[in-house]
């Protein structure tokens, strides 16, 4: 049984080598229970290797990892009992129907017969696949297969589910649909989700916390807001009416204002990170400029990610 | 595991593709045409005892090369390994499913053949196997299927594609079947005669016992080897 800790997953200096290649380099990570955790990184960053280690499929070369309080080296079987996974490929039996695919894994996870049938119906209905339940899945679109694979991963109500790039290769419509389904699923089932992706928009929308990995090393971890905050540019956009060149000159002369640009009633100012906007708004109002909207320009998760990748590349002196 | 394998066999047979149609044609020829042509000899011949084990093993061989290599090629292996199923449950499930398939085909063929031979040559009486011959037939059929499944899984574990597994398996079958014959033929004429005389002197029961022991030991070795080789950590990286 898991100790009463608040973590679904903990890794302490986990390193995994494949011959001369270091796939994971002293990875230390804590994933709280009940959240959607996004593991972000470019191709070959070590995301899939990390999942394999956490599922007890491969052993770390050094370091240790605990999943649901269980040691991944010693208790791989017990970990897999309580986890679900959608790995690199959907892993569906294409000659079998959707219902048979789920039935097989339900049996494998010892889901009782009566509960199994209800659960399969519930999941196939939720993902909009119930009407196609008897079709061999080989004839299905990739989006439908991914949905079925997600359904399979949560069929036995796991405590933790690993989703390895679940929207990879899907068109934008299918991606948005699956993302919505994942968000609903995580909220309704209360399951901890460990999601690897290089779709930053997806991570920003779904994840409570994200970790950024590159070349097997964890570069940053925190909430999307925290990561974005690191990239806070201090830029402020103000929509105004009645702006004159005199006022613009006054703004440029204000202490801390490093740049001012004007474009058809849209004023953009560069301020030091965290600087207050109040003196600027006060100056505008004082000179009879109508202020319609004040908005801090927020860095996106993509900005933060690219910054981290750039920093890592310059540190290591190589391309990604 | 056995349930899933059977579902896949069933869907393959129902679609009458690949092995399905050929299995049906084979069942018809071997189950009806051969017994009717051979008549009572189909039941009474001492050599016929090797027929059902051979038939079952052939049916097993048509499936088993696909067992692990097919999962790997179709990208279903890693998901299977990430499930709660134990290594032995996965491997033995595949072996048992294939053995049941081969055994089922052989038994169906035997029953159909008996009906056919009795209808065509019964002349009011019943043409049946002797009890000893029937027991030996069933035992050899099970053991030959097990041995073939064990060899097939072992080869399939090591192959990266189904095609590679089938090629290796084909070579293994040729070596195993023709090898002993070639070795026997390589013996001097007098030595061969001595061996034949020795075997003839053993008696039917003792020969059955030796064959059973040999098949059992070989099956245990091969299946044990496959179980030892089936390691999640290795398979997931292959």
pLDDT tens-digit readout, B31-47: 888 888 888 888 888 77
Q: What is the pLDDT of residues B171-214, one digit of tens each?
A: 988 888 888 889 988 999 999 889 888 888 888 888 889 999 99
C-beta atoms of A80 and B84 within 8 A = yes
Q: How many Cβ pairs closer than 8 A exist between chain A and B?
A: 70
Using a CB-CB cut-off of 8 Å, the residues of chain A touching B75 are 88-91
**Searching chain A, which residue's CA lies closest to the CA of residue B80?**
A91
**pLDDT: is B117 or B21 the higher one?**
B117
C-beta atoms of A100 and B233 within 8 A = no
- Residue B127: pLDDT band (50, 70, 90) is confident
* Six-digit token string for B230: 């089936």
**pLDDT: is B27 or B84 the higher one?**
B84
Distance, C-alpha A312 to centroid of its chain: 20
Q: What is the pLDDT of residue A1?
A: 43
Residues 216-235 of B with CB under 8 A from A: 232-233
- Terminal CA-CA length for chain B: 21
CA–CA min distance B79, chain A (Å): 6
C-beta atoms of B232 and A110 within 8 A = no
Nearest to B82 among A87, A92, A95 (CB): A87
- Residue B148: pLDDT band (50, 70, 90) is very high
Characterise A238 by phi-psi region: left (phi > 0), alpha (psi -120 to 50), beta (else): beta
Q: What domains are defined for chain A? A: 7-229 (3.40.50.300), 234-296 (3.30.70.100)
The β-bridge relationship of strands A21-32 and A7-18 is: antiparallel
Mean pLDDT across the stretch B157-170?
Answer: 89
Most A CBs within 10 A among B3, B4, B71, hence the mutation to make, goes to B4
Q: What is the pLDDT of residue A54?
A: 97
pLDDT greater than 80 at residue B77: yes
C-beta atoms of B82 and A80 within 8 A = yes
C-beta atoms of B74 and A94 within 8 A = yes
pLDDT greater than 80 at residue B79: yes
**Searching chain B, which residue's CA lies closest to the CA of residue A103?**
B4
Q: What is the pLDDT of residue A117?
A: 94
Q: What is the pLDDT of residue B200?
A: 83
Nearest to B81 among A57, A89, A105 (CB): A57
CA–CA min distance A44, chain B (Å): 15
pLDDT tens series, chain A, 320 aa: 444 458 999 999 999 999 999 999 999 999 999 899 999 998 889 999 999 999 999 999 999 999 999 999 999 999 999 999 999 899 999 989 999 999 999 999 999 988 999 999 999 998 889 999 999 999 899 889 999 999 999 999 999 999 998 888 777 877 887 888 788 877 887 789 999 988 888 888 889 999 999 999 999 899 888 887 776 667 788 999 988 989 999 998 988 888 888 888 888 888 877 788 899 999 999 999 999 999 887 777 777 777 777 777 666 655 44
Q: Is B75 on the interface with A (CB under 8 A)?
A: yes
Mean pLDDT across the stretch B149-169?
Answer: 90
For residue A16, which phi and psi values (nearest 5 degrees)? -135, 120
Q: What is the mean pLDDT of chain B?
A: 86
For residue A190, which phi and psi values (nearest 5 degrees)? 65, 25
Instruction: State how far the alpha carbon of B20 is from the alpha carbons of A300, B1, B64, B101, B142, in Å.
Output: 56, 21, 15, 12, 22
CA–CA min distance A308, chain B (Å): 30
Q: What is the pLDDT of residue A276?
A: 85
Q: What is the pLDDT of residues B134-144, one digit of tens each?
A: 898 899 999 99
ipTM above 0.95, yes or no: no
Distance, CA of B86 to CA of B83 (rounded, Å): 8
Nearest to B237 among A58, A93, A136 (CB): A58
Contact between B17 and B104 under an 8 Å Cβ cutoff? The reply is no
**Domains of chain B: which residue ranges?**
2-235
């Amino acid at each position: 049984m898991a100790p009463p800790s608040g973590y679904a997953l903990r890794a302490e200096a986990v390193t995994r080598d494949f011959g001369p290649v270091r796939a994971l380099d002293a990875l230390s990570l804590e994933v709280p229970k009940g959240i959607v955790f996004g593991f972000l990184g470019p191709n070959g960053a070590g995301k899939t290797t990390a999942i394999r280690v956490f599922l007890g499929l491969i052993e770390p070369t050094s370091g240790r990892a605990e999943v649901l309080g269980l040691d991944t080296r010693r208790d791989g079987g017990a970990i897999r009992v309580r986890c679900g996974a959608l790995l690199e490929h959907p892993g569906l039996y294409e000659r079998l129907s959707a219902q048979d695919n789920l039935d097989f894994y339900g049996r494998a996870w010892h889901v009782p017969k009566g509960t199994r049938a209800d659960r399969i119906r519930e999941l196939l209905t939720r993902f909009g696949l119930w009407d196609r339940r008897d079709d061999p899945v080989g004839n299905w679109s990739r989006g439908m297969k991914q949905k079925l694979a997600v359904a399979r991963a949560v069929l036995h109500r796991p405590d933790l589910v690993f989703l390895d790039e679940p929207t990879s290769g899907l068109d934008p419509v299918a991606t948005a649909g699956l993302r919505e389904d994942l968000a609903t699923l995580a909220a309704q089932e209360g399951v901890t989700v460990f999601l690897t992706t290089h779709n930053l928009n997806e991570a920003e929308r779904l994840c409570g916390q994200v970790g950024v990995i590159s070349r097997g090393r964890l570069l940053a971890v925190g909430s999307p807001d925290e990561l974005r905050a690191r990239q806070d540019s201090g830029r402020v956009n103000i929509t105004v009416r009645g702006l004159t060149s005199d006022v613009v000159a006054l703004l440029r002369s204000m202490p801390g204002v490093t740049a001012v640009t004007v474009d058809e009633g849209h004023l953009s100012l560069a301020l030091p990170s965290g600087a207050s906007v109040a003196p600027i708004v006060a100056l505008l109002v004082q000179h009879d400029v109508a202020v319609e909207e004040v908005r801090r320009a927020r860095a996106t998760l993509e900005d933060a990610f690219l910054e981290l990748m750039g920093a890592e590349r310059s540190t290591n002196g190589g391309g990604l | 595991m056995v349930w899933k394998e059977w579902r896949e066999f069933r869907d393959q047979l129902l679609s009458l593709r690949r092995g399905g149609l050929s299995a049906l044609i084979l069942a018809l020829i071997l189950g009806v045409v051969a017994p009717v042509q051979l008549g009572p000899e189909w039941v009474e011949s001492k050599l016929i005892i090797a027929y059902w084990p051979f038939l079952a093993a052939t049916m097993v061989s048509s499936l088993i090369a696909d067992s692990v290599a097919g999962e790997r090629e179709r990208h279903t292996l890693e998901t299977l390994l990430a499930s709660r199923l134990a290594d032995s449950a996965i491997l033995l499930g595949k072996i048992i499913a294939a053995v049941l398939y081969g055994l089922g085909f052989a038994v169906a063929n035997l029953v159909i053949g008996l009906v056919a031979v009795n209808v065509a040559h019964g002349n009011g009486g019943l043409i049946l196997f002797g009890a000893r011959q029937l027991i030996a037939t069933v035992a050899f059929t099970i053991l030959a299927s097990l041995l073939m499944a064990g060899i097939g899984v072992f080869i399939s574990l090591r192959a990266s594609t189904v095609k590679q597994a089938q090629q290796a398996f084909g070579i293994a079958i040729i070596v195993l079947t023709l090898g002993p014959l070639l070795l026997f033929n390589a013996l001097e004429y007098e030595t061969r005669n001595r061996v034949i005389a020795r075997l003839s002197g053993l008696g039917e029961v003792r020969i059955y016992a030796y064959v059973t022991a040999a098949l059992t030991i070989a099956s245990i070795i091969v299946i044990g080897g496959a179980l030892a080789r089936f390691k999640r950590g290795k398979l997931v990286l292959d």
